[in-house]
Structure 1
Amino acid sequence: MVELPPVVARMWGREHSSRRGPKPRLDLATITAAAIEIADTEGLAGLSMSSVAAQVGVAPMALYRYVGSKDELLTVMSDSAVPAPPERGELPWRDYLAVWTRANRDLLLSRPWLLSLQGLTPPMGPRRLYWLERLLDVLGDTALDDGEKFNVATALTGYALTDATLVHATKAAGQELAAAGVKGATDYGEVLAEVLDPATYPVLSAMMRSGLLKESEGWTEDADFLFGLNLLLDGIEALMARRAGRSE
């Protein structure tokens, strides 16, 4: 039997606990909730073992009885901050995958600090793995094999993460451009049209000079998100059709 890493054992309630000594004042759930509250209000920059200890009213060293390090605490936080996955109800597989991916992306938009944690480790906690379980179950009756189902989950998770990261980066870049006097997509396109050398950037330069970004005024992140999501879902559907044809 494999020996579980301490942080994984803690998340699953599998850590051996001694009955000796006084009853602990704290538990991992209380510490994690305090850490998440700090991250929600101050970001990860405001998170430290000292700040969490102050939040729960103990000395910093007292936390190490429950969590071995700040990195372990971040791992637990990245799981505990995740709500339950969407219910499927009567949705067909494609509609549910769209709902599932959107919910994944919206979670990352609501808690930006998760962006820097989601890619550090594969899901090992009960909440993140339940999202994976729910998606794999929806694909259960399709013609995809187990490896393909797992890869679908990986692709959609990665897309949600990438899109949320892009949205945050775009908003930050928009603020910087506004501070520099560039307001809106039209102004941005005109700046690019001015600096791009058609000899080196023939395609991009032509697009900017044609006023492509003028048509992007009023652009919404949701429309962009749906465009990419439908490309992925179309590809998954095409793969299912090929697999079904092969089995027949």
Structure 2
Amino acid sequence: MAQEWSLPPVVERLWGREPVPRRGPRPRLDLAMITSAAIEIADAEGLTGVSMASVASRVGVAATALYRYVGSKEDLLTAMADFVVPMPPDAAGRPWRDYLALWTRAQRDILLEHPWLLPIARLSPPLGPRRLLWLDRLLAALDGLGLDDGERINVASALAGYALTDSALVTTVGVGEAQLDDGGIEGAGDYGEVLAGLLDPETYPALSAAVRGGALRGAEGWVDDDFRFGLELLLDGVEALIARRASGDDAGGK
């Protein structure tokens, strides 16, 4: 018998499963209104500015009124992580590789636009309808290419993880409750100069040679160039896997 899971009430509400009262006045609030207010605060002040009190003040009610919709700040963060995500890009007949590149870049753009989302996305698997819609669209883009369901989900996880990691590296301000003291480092050039002064060529021969040779000096637009380079490596791997499955050669595979 399949196990019956008890989902948090806020997740049930995300899926529209909240019971609709048959009598009485229409509620002044709903989850969408509360979450939108919290997102506005997070975009302006970061997660440190988000509290039940600050959100209640923005929507014009007492903090206690929010608990009918979100039981805690953690529930609120769960809702925010789903509401802030737009609809996934439309495949619109694109080749699978083009769509996966567009999908991954769009994931990264969301995280860069809302850096407060980084610590939430790292800690919570998708349960809300919008985030799962993104997963569905990527799986559909890989349909019919010879990959099994597990492999397609692993491709999605790898690409989403890459978008998350790259966004965390690009974001230079602290997110969540912590602030990072980077000593004023801005960009790859500064980072390379710092490493050149730290690295002992005898202990770090390969890295030291790369840094001193200007590998991190970078030109204008290095951030996007690095992202595109890493993304192409990942997509090359997916393409190689598809070719291997098509040829029936599973050597080195599962």
TM-score normalised to structure 1 length = 0.90
How high is the sequence identity, in percent, across the aligned residues?
A: 62
Could you tell me which of 220, 230, 233 is aligned with 2:232? 230
Q: Indicate the residue corresponding to 2:167 in structure 1.
A: 164
5+ long unaligned stretches in structure 2: 250-254
Q: Indicate the residue corresponding to 2:215 in structure 1.
A: 212
Residues 90-239 of structure 1 mapped to structure 2, 5 A cutoff: 90-169=93-172, 176-177=183-184, 185-186=188-189, 188-214=191-217, 216-239=218-241
Query: Residue 10 of structure 2 contacts residue 69 of structure 2 at CA under 8 Å; is this kept in 1?
Result: no
Q: Indicate the residue corresponding to 2:33 in structure 1.
A: 30
Query: Residue 35 of structure 1 contacts residue 52 of structure 1 at CA under 8 Å; is this kept in 2?
Result: yes
1:176 is aligned with what amino acid?
A: G
Query: Residue 32 of structure 1 contacts residue 80 of structure 1 at CA under 8 Å; is this kept in 2?
Result: yes
5+ long unaligned stretches in structure 1: none
Query: Residue 52 of structure 2 contacts residue 73 of structure 2 at CA under 8 Å; is this kept in 1?
Result: yes
Q: Distance in 1 between the 2:229 and 2:23 partners?
A: 58
Could you tell me which of 4, 16, 19 is aligned with 2:19? 16
1:220 is aligned with what amino acid?
A: W
**How far apart are residue 220 of structure 1 and its match?**
2.1
| RMSD (Å) for aligned C-alpha atoms | 2.4
Q: Indicate the residue corresponding to 1:43 in structure 2.
A: 46
Query: Residue 184 of structure 1 contacts residue 217 of structure 1 at CA under 8 Å; is this kept in 2?
Result: no
Q: Indicate the residue corresponding to 2:243 in structure 1.
A: 241
Q: Judge which range, 161-170 or 25-34, deviates more.
A: 161-170
**How far apart are residue 208 of structure 1 and its match?**
2.8
Query: Residue 31 of structure 1 contacts residue 52 of structure 1 at CA under 8 Å; is this kept in 2?
Result: yes
Deviations 1:59-80 (A, max 9, x none): 0001001111111011001000
Q: Indicate the residue corresponding to 2:66 in structure 1.
A: 63
Q: Distance in 2 between the 1:173 and 1:23 partners?
A: 45
Q: Distance in 2 between the 1:5 and 1:70 partners?
A: 13
Q: Judge which range, 47-56 or 13-22, deviates more.
A: 13-22
TM-score normalised to structure 2 length = 0.87
Distance 1:186 1:46, change over 3 A: closer
SS of 1:82's partner is coil
Q: Distance in 2 between the 1:175 and 1:50 partners?
A: 32
2:72 is aligned with what amino acid?
A: S
Q: Distance in 1 between the 2:189 and 2:118 partners?
A: 29
